[in-house]
Structure 1
């Protein structure tokens, strides 16, 4: 379609902005998007508002826009349907450890569960389900997702340590008396930061499951990379 065809300029700018955000690991501000488009800040703001409305991008607390869940859904055929590919590994892990495991992605300043697997033999289930959302700066999964991103000014020491060691354990940051273990899953941009998360009321289950979760994350990283 010719660039000067009626109605094509807005679409072209929107797609260009979306691609620029997808290619920017630390996200882009409104002004950076405007500069990339060679357009006025007001135009960039309107485009980003529309993309946010349809959940293709999300604005973080730092004012930067990053890819959101709808972009992953749109690209699911290219991404080989990450949720479906991950379920066998997550199922095996949940049954091996006897506790709930999940796959989460970063969406703006939140963490979102896109797959939650409860072990086949379970007598007590923690309250956690697909679509659950929590702030990105809380819990093991949030820390692991932040550790998958470039360093940010003022980030927690725990995020830096997680980036170095490749896993993190937290206690009571989201649910009282609940332990969390999370390991980043390495994926190529523009895929959102992703991690495997294990939750349990028992510290021994989390500590004893670390190696298995690390192996599962490596398996998914190789599969999804």
Structure 2
């Protein structure tokens, strides 16, 4: 009776096949998310060749990724042949923000209660910081507040600096942004609201998530100072929940 040669490769197990499939799927998803992020972040749109260089893939693969994103209205091709963020991205961004808000609101409530100050979650949208969740302290007789949906430019305020620190380093960025990235927080006074102190903690950015930060606003210098270690510790918990 002959026996199988020891040199013949064995067939993959069901577990190995499933794992390989997941790895391929994860790689494809990550590539699509990176492509979407690249196109959305390019002010003048992006070409197939530019995306291929960014992803370090062949033009054919870059084109297929863009075609898939175009099918879902996440990007569109303008008359010059450049791809830009599509209308479907707004709906997707809303769902991402909603997921972030629901995940982080318990942490925001804890912070507002402990620090007796208004705490908010802000994300970057283009060149603006947008408040997607705002929690006011439950027992404070006097506090500063602002509305969900409030916007201000990214180049000012603790939240704006923290959001830029949550992004990749860029040549020529302001010193306050570099400092926020190195120290883990940004602190300002009167840059958005006259007489208001702001302390913001940039959050670790996951794949497919916008730059985000937790921001505290108060009219008291002592509250702002006391908030720094509390916010830094809570940011570690938040980052673990998002990873």
CA distance in 2, matches of 1:147, 1:25: 20
Q: CA deviation at 1:122?
A: 2.4
Q: CA deviation at 1:154?
A: 2.4
The TM-score normalised by the length of structure 2 is 0.70
The TM-score normalised by the length of structure 1 is 0.75
Q: Is the 8 A contact 2:78 2:84 kept in 1?
A: no
Match of 1:73 in 2: 94
- Higher helix residue share: 2
Q: CA deviation at 1:28?
A: 2.6
Give 1 or 2 for the bigger CA radius of gyration: 2
Q: CA deviation at 1:186?
A: 0.9
Match of 2:140 in 1: 122
CA distance in 2, matches of 1:127, 1:208: 19
Unmatched 5+ stretches in structure 1: 1-15, 57-68
Coordinate RMSD, CA, aligned = 2.7
Q: Would the alpha carbon gap of residues 20 and 44 (structure 1) be closer, same or farther in structure 2, given more than 3 Å must change?
A: farther
1:111 aligned to 121, 124, 129, which one? 129
Name the count of aligned residue pairs.
Answer: 190
Q: Is the 8 A contact 1:104 1:195 kept in 2?
A: yes
Higher relative contact order (CA 8 A, sep 6+): 1
Q: Would the alpha carbon gap of residues 192 and 44 (structure 1) be closer, same or farther in structure 2, given more than 3 Å must change?
A: farther
CA distance in 2, matches of 1:31, 1:91: 39
2:158 aligned to 140, 156, 161, which one? 140
Q: Is the 8 A contact 2:39 2:45 kept in 1?
A: no
2:106 aligned to 83, 88, 93, which one? 88
Are positions 1:193 and 2:193 aligned together? no
Q: CA deviation at 1:73?
A: 2.6
Match of 2:41 in 1: 27
Unmatched 5+ stretches in structure 2: 1-30, 52-61, 67-76
